[in-house]
Amino acid sequence: MTNSRGHHMVLTTFMLPAGYHKDSWRMDGSRADELANFDFVADLTRMAEAAKLDAVFFGDIAHANTVMRGDIKMNGFYEPMTTLAALAAVTKNIGLIGTISTSFYEPYNVARLLAGLDHMSGGRAGWNIVTSSDGFQNFGLTEAPDGPTRYRRAAEFVEVVQKLWDSWEDDAVINDRESGWYVDTSKIHTIDHVGEYFRVQGPLPGPRSPQGRPVLVQAGSSAPGVELGTSVADGIYTAQPLLQPSIEFYADFKAKAAAKGRDPELIKIIPGILPILGETQAEADELAGELARNIHMENGRKQVGADLKLDLSSLDLDEAIPAGWFSEDPSRGSRYHIYRRKSVDQGMTLRELIVDLARSTGHQWMAGTPGAVADRMIEWFEARACDGFNLNAPFNPGGFALICDKLVPELAERGYFRHEYEGTTLRENLGLPYPSSKRESALA
Ligand SMILES: Cc1cc2nc3c(=O)[nH]c(=O)nc-3n(C[C@H](O)[C@H](O)[C@H](O)COP(=O)(O)O)c2cc1C
ipTM confidence: 0.99
- pLDDT for 1: 55
Q: Residue with the nearest Cα to atom 2 of ligand 1? A: 237
* Residue 339 Cα distances to 347, 367, 380, 417, angstroms: 11, 20, 22, 32
Into how many domains does the chain fold?
1
**Domain presence at residue 222:** yes
260-296 residue pLDDT tens: 999 999 999 999 999 999 999 999 999 999 999 999 9
- pLDDT for 74: 81
Out of 142-146, 366-370, 440-444, least confident range: 440-444
**Domain presence at residue 354:** no
Say yes or no to pLDDT of 409 above 70: yes
Say yes or no to pLDDT of 407 above 60: yes
**Domain presence at residue 330:** no
**Domain presence at residue 141:** yes
CB atoms within 10 A of CB 349: 16
State the burial class of residue 316 (Cβ atoms within 10 Å of its Cβ: 0-12, 13-18, 19+). Answer: exposed
**401-407 average pLDDT score:** 98
Asked whether 219 lines ligand 1 (CB < 6 A), one says yes
Of 102, 131, 134, 237, the residue with max ligand 1 atoms within 8 A of its CB, to mutate for a pocket test, comes to 237
Say yes or no to pLDDT of 430 above 80: yes
- pLDDT for 37: 96
Q: Residue with the nearest Cα to atom 11 of ligand 1? A: 132
What is the bridge-based pairing of β-strands 193-194 and 199-200?
A: antiparallel
Say yes or no to pLDDT of 331 above 90: no
Closest atom, ligand 1, to C-alpha of 130:
17
**Domain presence at residue 69:** yes
Say yes or no to pLDDT of 438 above 70: no
154-163 residue pLDDT tens: 999 999 999 9
Domain hosting 53: range is 10-276+363-443
In the three-class reduction of DSSP (H, G, I as helix; E, B as strand; rest coil), residue 181 is classed as: strand
Asked whether 157 lines ligand 1 (CB < 6 A), one says no
Cβ–Cβ under 8 Å, residues 433 and 304? no
Closest atom, ligand 1, to C-alpha of 238:
31
Of 57, 133, 139, the residue with max ligand 1 atoms within 8 A of its CB, to mutate for a pocket test, comes to 133
96 has which bridge partners? 56, 125
Asked whether 103 lines ligand 1 (CB < 6 A), one says no
Cβ–Cβ under 8 Å, residues 392 and 289? no
Cβ neighbors of 93 (< 8 A, separation 6 or more) are 49, 52, 124, 421, 424, 429
State the burial class of residue 197 (Cβ atoms within 10 Å of its Cβ: 0-12, 13-18, 19+). Answer: middle
Asked whether 273 lines ligand 1 (CB < 6 A), one says no
Grade residue 377 by pLDDT with cuts at 50, 70 and 90. very high
Say yes or no to pLDDT of 233 above 80: yes
In the three-class reduction of DSSP (H, G, I as helix; E, B as strand; rest coil), residue 216 is classed as: strand
Q: At what angle do helices 334-344 and 350-360 cross, to 10 degrees?
A: 140
**Domain presence at residue 213:** yes
Half-sphere exposure of residue 231: CA atoms within 13 angstroms, side-chain side: 16
Say yes or no to pLDDT of 237 above 80: yes
Closest atom, ligand 1, to C-alpha of 226:
26
**Domain presence at residue 93:** yes
- pLDDT for 439: 60
- pLDDT for 75: 77
Say yes or no to pLDDT of 388 above 90: yes
**Domain presence at residue 346:** no
Asked whether 13 lines ligand 1 (CB < 6 A), one says no
- pLDDT for 224: 97
Distance CA 45, CA 373 (A): 22
Distance CA 208, CA 328 (A): 47
CATH no. for residue 107?
A: 3.20.20.30
Distance CA 390, CA 342 (A): 22
Say yes or no to pLDDT of 442 above 80: no
CB atoms within 10 A of CB 401: 16
Closest atom, ligand 1, to C-alpha of 150:
25
**79-86 average pLDDT score:** 98
Please provide the average confidence, as pLDDT, over all residues in the chain. 95
Helix (H) or strand (E) holding 11, with range, is: strand 10-14
Cβ–Cβ under 8 Å, residues 134 and 74? no
Q: Residue with the nearest Cα to atom 15 of ligand 1? A: 219
User: What is the distance between the terminal CA atoms of the chain, rounded to a whole angstrom?
Assistant: 36
- pLDDT for 444: 43
Out of 235-244, 326-335, 423-432, least confident range: 326-335
164-186 residue pLDDT tens: 999 999 999 999 999 999 999 99
